[in-house]
Structure 1
């Protein structure tokens, strides 16, 4: 599969290293904002939020599938715009372990809903240069918790109000990415935690998602890919 990468930053560079070592992939280009892409089978967007719209337009024009790993962007009407013309997979995080953590976070939310003394929260820590806060992963985990708690309808950055789930953010140092979903009660606490030790885990996940997306059409998420792997893990549980 011939691929291209939009973005020469931390994630784009990590994906490029993994792609160059993959025998089934042909890396055609890695472009910054000044580059002009040539036709490929699939492109991975690891650039900046403001560039996503233009990259999507290029993919629709050329027929290339697109994996979007950029965070902090929003394109209204995205699913209708894509239709069945190409395959697009959008994800704030390409770690399969984080996808599992999101599923478990919904269970934590359901458990918290049984006991009003348990307060759920999300905490995330990234390096000082990360632009968006909270991260896309933190928002995804918060939404997963809320899916299990009918009494809470939204997340908020900082101290939560009635019916809200609080997200705390740290921007310091060189942390690749650390996320915690917790329950805090007067008699006990329970936490789920994930810490990335390198960007390789995200790069490898992005390429797995790219291979999975090829041949599909419409808008997908990393959870759609992860579901095929995670569902069997829960199938025989009582």
Structure 2
């Protein structure tokens, strides 16, 4: 069966997803709009709109039995799993890039390495364009959580001078940068950094389509980390050990 997609959001990300989806796009609705009666049937809908619209879009997805990929940030719904209750598939993402999903898993490994020596300090820095609404971004928070999962002595992040248990996080909002994120560790005699730099919104659009394809047919609430575990973890297998 050919996957048919619906799309909420006509902003920068929504437009990029629409262009990448091509003929697979059944309908495309802007802010405050819902698909009209004449819209094509969609197997999966991607929400690339705004945080304030997520609750209404989830209600629509539950009512119509349509799987939903949520790519907005800045929203919170503590009872999401209870609302979904296995009726549809829902995937939430702070960043759709598969390379960023891989980076998050590598960040946890970096955190584990930092945890071996208290002199190794993990940190995170991000740079987005001047119009980016949230600071830090959802991606930065996801990467920070991944770092702290590997380094238990860091239990929260801070934008100010960090305490011993905090992870230092730097934020820049300037210019037209699509998005750059760096996770690193600083030790007395060496520095190790891992950087993702987006050159366009194409990786986010392609990742959104991959997420929709992966989600279809699954029931429950998932994240890009679940997709990464399924698709990317085989990359960490280097053959049989002696």
Taking structure 1 as the reference length, the TM-score comes to 0.94
What residue number does 1:138 align with?
Answer: 140
Q: Which residue of 2 aligns with 1:29?
A: 27
Cα displacement string for residues 37-87 of structure 1 (whole angstroms, at most 9, x for unaligned residues):
245322100011111011001100111110000011111110111011100
User: Does 2:103 match 1:91?
Assistant: no
Which residue of 127, 144, 158 maps to 1:125? 127
Unaligned ranges ≥5, structure 1: none
Distance in 2 (alpha carbons) for counterparts of 1:134 and 1:47:
19
2:182 maps to which of 180, 183, 190: 180
Contact 2:111 2:149 in 1 (8 A): yes
Provide the TM-score with structure 2 as the length reference: 0.93
RMSD: 1.3
**Count of equivalent residues:** 234
Partner of 1:157: 159
Structure 1 residue 170 displacement after superposition:
0.4
- Aligned equivalent of 1:49: 51
User: What residue is the counterpart of 2:82 in the other structure?
Assistant: 80
Could you tell me how far apart the structure 2 residues matched to 1:185 and 1:195 are? 24
In the TM superposition, what is the alpha-carbon distance from 1:178 to its structure 2 partner?
0.3
Q: 2:179 touches 2:197 (CA, 8 Å); kept in 1?
A: yes
2:34 & 2:102 partners in 1: Cα distance? 37
Structure 1 position 28, deviation (Å): 2.3
- Residue 34 (structure 1) shift: 3.3
CA contact (8 A) 2:111 2:151 kept: yes
Query: Any stretches of 5+ residues in structure 2 without a counterpart?
Result: none
What is the CA–CA distance in structure 2 between the aligned matches of 1:92 and 1:176, rounded to whole Å? 14
> Which deviations, in whole Å up to 9, do the C-alpha atoms of 1:197-228 show, x marking residues without a partner?
11000000100110111111110111211212
1:114 counterpart residue number: 116
> 1:142: how far off?
0.5
Whole-Å Cα distance in 2 between the matches of residues 107 and 50 of structure 1?
A: 35
